[in-house]
Structure 1
Amino acid sequence: MVGNDNAPQGSTTRRALLAGGIAAVAAGGAWLWFGREDEGAPAPKGPKVLGPELDAPSSSGKPATPGGGTKPKWPVALPAYAAEPLHVGGMLYCGAPDGMVLALDDRHGAERWRYTLRGAGIPSPGRTELGPEVRVSSPELVAVGPALVCSIDLRSSNPTDNGRVVGLDAATGKERWRRSAAGKLIPASKLCLLLERPGTVDAPERHVLRAVEPHTGRQVWEFSRTGRSINEVHPHDGPVVLLALLEPPALCALEAQSGALVWNRASPGGERLRPFHQTPRIALFTSEELDDLNSPDGNTTVRVTCLNPSTGKLIWQRALRHAGLPPLVSSDGLVHLQGEGRMHALDTTTGAVRWTSPMPYEKSPWNFIVERGLLIARDPSNERSRAQLAAGIGQDPKHSLIRVLATASGAALGSFRVPGWPVNPLGSDGSRVFLRHDLPKDLPTDPVMSIVSAVDARSGRTVWEKKTPRPSRIEVQGPVLRLYGTSIDLIDCLTGRARG
């Protein structure tokens, strides 16, 4: 089913439903969007009957009064089990349990607004009045223009009521629309894609991909295949949306604005392919195959496939045995893939090998990242092999080996040893590499702490180091470094000192 041809028919005329500024435009009454002037008003006690599958309009977006005005207050602690923040448009948006969304100013960390999902069938934060089996997850967030779209799972035993998708005003937190649904959000061009999970436990496995206008919630198109699962959808601000299907594995492309099927083809080699990079000229997919299930070393074969996104025609394909982590694409237009004892840099448009560098796969894969013209890898040559780990023999090293290469040429820029193991690369500002060493916990309930350090990419000299709650990700913005973990911290790239 492509486009709106098979959608339920209903009124598509905009009309005022409530004096509070609620408007509904729907295909079959399935979508709702509205505006509210009573920001911060209590949530309604019961749902208003607006049509099938519609929830009562309920918004708890409340502007926050920043403590101390705009004085910087880094680090900012996040709620327990909060999702990794989304940084866009000078704001940091963070999903937290109980269907909460926090909006922080990225300059000083002050809270700008807070939203919590309310409505019929949704327990209040910290409450279980609907039964212990009902829980509200941390929202998954996608920002498209002035809208913030949230997908919130309801961990409920009711298979027909398993989540909400909500559209918020990114500047104020006001709820604009919502839908009873659960799934994964994917930004694409000027639309927001929602990959909905099957609605009932006894129904055939059937995913539905819906495209909606993020600021109104109006459904633009939908796509599904009876009995087929949509395994992957690739986010891209381009003319087509790439999908990987299962049973059997296949690939297809949809026109981003209409949902029309552009091409459909069987997966090369019958493998499950995952899209990981797309431009107007090429689309790159990766797949993995474990050669020997009984081998402690894994012997994984990684295959990179390049297709023309407009036609689906195969452009090139490359497979490497004894491969490590999934391939990464650098700003130089190269695919970096470890396998067969070397790091390979492939031209994205032709698959030609630009350069290789020795990276022996003797014990375990190399943990590497590519950023700002540098490939930073942890060399496992002094570490225990997978066979030793499986047998529980040997000892872990007390130092980690770090290698730095130029992504464009493969030239060796630095090779050095740093205290601690394992020390993993987090990122780079082009001249320094930022590393993380997780410290052992004294008690199981203690938070995980890490040593984050800045090391000169060529000499290996430690510029600074800082003990901090373990960051899962960093973001380099000119002279400042933002750490994301159980808290958000802003520090100086040159000194490691807190900003502000």
Structure 2
Amino acid sequence: MRKSLGLAAADARQGGGAMFRGDGARTGVYHTPGVERFGGIQWRFQSGGMVQSSAAVTDGIVYIGSGDGNLYALDAATGAERWRFAAGRAITSSPAVAGGVVYFGSRDNRFFAVDARSGKERWQVTTGADAPLAWGFESGDLYTSSPVWSDGLVVFGSGDGRVHAVDDRTGAVRWRFATEGRVRSSPAILDGRVYVGSMDGTLYALELRGGRLAWRFDTEGHRLRSGDFGFDRRTIQSSPAAADGRVFVGSRDGFLYAVDAASGRLLWRVDHHMSWVNTSPAVAGDLVFAGSSDERFLQAVDVRTGKERCRVKTERPVWSSPAVAGDLVYVGDGSGTVYALDRASGAERWRHQSGRRILSSPVPHDGLLYVGNDDGGIYAIRDAIAPLERAVFWDSTLVRATRLATHVEMRDYFRERGYEVVDATALRRFVERRVTDRAPSVVVFAMDHLPASVAPSGPNQGPFRRYLDAGGKVVWAGIPPLIWPRDPKTGDAGDYSRIDRESTRRLLDVDHARSNFDGYGAAVTPEGLRWGLSGWWESNWSVDPGQVSEPLALDDNGLAGAWVKNYGGPPGTGFVRVYGGGWMGGGPSANFAAVQAVAEYRPR
């Protein structure tokens, strides 16, 4: 007996398959442990372009596209690259995986099927050229349609204005349906029907077998002329979510809609006051979750009435689509922030900000949260028994003692990302508490000066070293600690004869006998890639790599310009030196993103 279409999609999801929004109905619900507490970054993978695709995770592999034209297959636990497939143009669609095959589209209206194990191409099809824009100046045409698989068919939209259904084994066309605009929305399938939006402002319901039109629902935007407003008021970018006899979809006309799945009759709509609803709704229980662009919020509304239950303000516009796992909702925004919110109340459980804007949608899976970022990174955020305690050291009384020219900007960068700013006194309290409670933690030094409060005359016996010995973590940018300190009152460091290259050996068991202040190029090592670093930069005060636990970057002389010294704590802890900046304003600067990457790296 043939399985129902709904069961077929479920089998694909649960037995070696995955797709955008978690299932074929695009509900945005993931039946998997999420991330209850921010425990750090388990891994970060750097691609060569913006990552606006969302991950498909199955069988221990993360499949995701990048603006560099590659589809990546990454180890879900470590981020190690298994393979990449070069599509030739940006991939902003999100892949679907079913039956050992990965399906996805590229920006140039080609659609691919590749082997999930090897990345070898099975087939590809090319659709037509992009349909003309109704107004001609519609912005935000960033995503392309993501495929949905069901019972031997792969269905996807294209810039040519059509919905395509192809055979999953051969790519042979089964049917096509023409709309009146580009189809960037991703089709949803439920009970034998395909639901999809178009840039013409219409939501379509098609029969899965044959592609016949069952009904169409014209949004408010369908009758609007975008040129009268100076921005797009027509497009449906949002992917429909189908559940319990209803279809939910957002539109750039500024409304979130609910329509009857059988007839297309309007049930309710929620006014976002001309703010685009680009996000694909998530439907969990009696709530629908959707984000708003210029109004900058995530809301939960009643599934039956559309009445708002709660609203959470975000830092920047929300284009990322919310994901639900357990009692938490996850969503990203244009500030690069991922929010984890209580599903019932909207109360914030945690947030994490990094990189650039997030247009990718978070995907929870087995205690990790995967999300792409416009900085080109793919992040795996981990759960933890206790949250990661984060502090940044900065003290107004020690401004003359630091050489870091960007110390104020660095303090503010980390404060904005949830780090507690600690002065010399609070720093001692922080590290002593961590020695006692052994909570996972990190201290970023925005000043390259080690205060006497944590490093008295016997530095290797002081609170600073005891903290490291207890499994703590310090990230240091700038001149190595104690090697050439400045007087906190005058800022005077004396002449070169005052340089003490043995000081770091006494403090850290790492000496700088071969070090100097000359700048050399430094290239990231494989270990550095695991810690989230990439590329190369100028470095100095490098050390013999044999003295450290992991060299993160090697300079032109083969010395470690960035490195980790572990003191018996868990992986990802110890003293981390990352220079990664240049010389400006009379002193060194720091690469804040690189410092944050290593600070929050915490593998299992």
TM-score when normalising by structure 1: 0.48
The structure with the largest alpha-carbon Rg is: 2
Ranked by relative contact order (alpha carbons within 8 Å, sequence separation 6 or more), the top structure is: 2
Greater fraction helix: 2
TM-score when normalising by structure 2: 0.41
